[in-house]
Amino acid sequence: MKILVTDKTELHFPTPDDTVVVSFKESRPIPEEHLDADIVVCWGATASLGSMVQMPNLKWIQSLSAGTDAFLAAGLPESVLLTSGRGLHDHTVTEHAVALLLALVRELPDLVRAQDEHRWASEKRGPKPMYLPERVSTLIDARVLIWGFGSIGQTLAPALTALGCSVRGVARSAGERAGYPVIATDDIREALPDTDILVMILPSEPATFKALNAELLSLLPDRSLVCNVGRGSTVDEEALVAALRDGRIAGAALDVMQTEPLPADSPLWDAPNCLLTPHVAGFRAHGGDELMGGNLAAFLAGEPLRNLVER
């Protein structure tokens, strides 16, 4: 049995004695001598995905990404099992989302610019109200709505609660998850006017394309903030830029964009109060050894795999 493992992430998991484990570069097509592999462990880079369709012995792909839309779009045979990296990025994306929100409410981008200028930002100092009318200025008592309340959202929620936020989730159906109230997606319009911070953690699929559009942005309070750590395709970027320019929301933080890398002429770069990071929230596969090791043992035993993607 041959297993190809991405060179982007170092993984250690037990394998049978007769197993050959080969590191490969995802940024290139898979070399012809390795197209006979049985299993591939990867992130889903486009260059190597095309090669996987040509692999005659391929039985299973373990994605290290939580989202598997790139794999599903690659045209893989139905016989190939696909498992996602769901759960590997719960804590790292949570960490980044919290960092983005704290940066916005504490005006860190302005302070970093002042530091770059060797300027003591005196205008930021001195007593001020705890809650500013023009923008969310603290996470304490902030009303947060997490749209996409899966494993990442359910990890982020208690972190925000610990910082003083009141948190609700949004999912396909209403109820309670991980101890938090969850509203149905169909009811989000009623919730947005009472939202200070909207966090987007939606997957990329036809139903979520530009889910946050001009209509929904108009329902948010003028002082509200938007943070997207899900997929860039879920936000109407043109509508978001317009809302920021017109002061219809107070700020935004995006780790994902519809086109990546973000083109140099994108209006997002210069949108007011918009903090951008280059899709860096995840990519660390926290727990990847355990996931791959457990799934490999299950695969060899003919048992169900964790995070199996239904196709």
Taking the C-alpha atoms of residue 103 and residue 126, their distance in angstroms, rounded to an integer, is 19
125 is catalytic: no
Give dist(CA 71, CA 46) in Å, integer.
Answer: 9
DSSP line for 194-243: G-SEEEE----SGGGTT-B-HHHHHHS-TT-EEEE-S-GGGB-HHHHHHH
Is 279 known to be catalytic? yes
> Residues 91, 143, 245, 279: which is the catalytic one?
279
Q: What is the DSSP letter of 308?
A: B
Strands (E), 7-100: 20-24, 39-42, 60-63, 81-83
Long-range pairs for 67-73 at CB < 8 Å and ≥24 separation?
67/203, 67/204, 67/231, 68/44, 68/309, 69/203, 69/204, 69/205, 69/231, 70/44, 70/46, 71/44, 71/309, 72/309, 72/311
From 260, 290, 303, 311, the catalytic residue: 260
Rounded distance, CA 170 to CA 279, Å?
23
Q: Which of 89, 96, 135, 231 is catalytic?
A: 231
Cα separation, 89 vs 155, whole angstroms: 10
Nearest C-alpha neighbor of 198 from the set 181, 175, 176, 221: 221
Contact 170, 183 (CB under 8 A): yes
Locate all alpha helices (DSSP H) within the chain, ordered by sequence.
46-52, 69-73, 90-105, 108-116, 151-162, 188-191, 214-219, 237-245, 288-301
Active site residues: 231, 260, 279
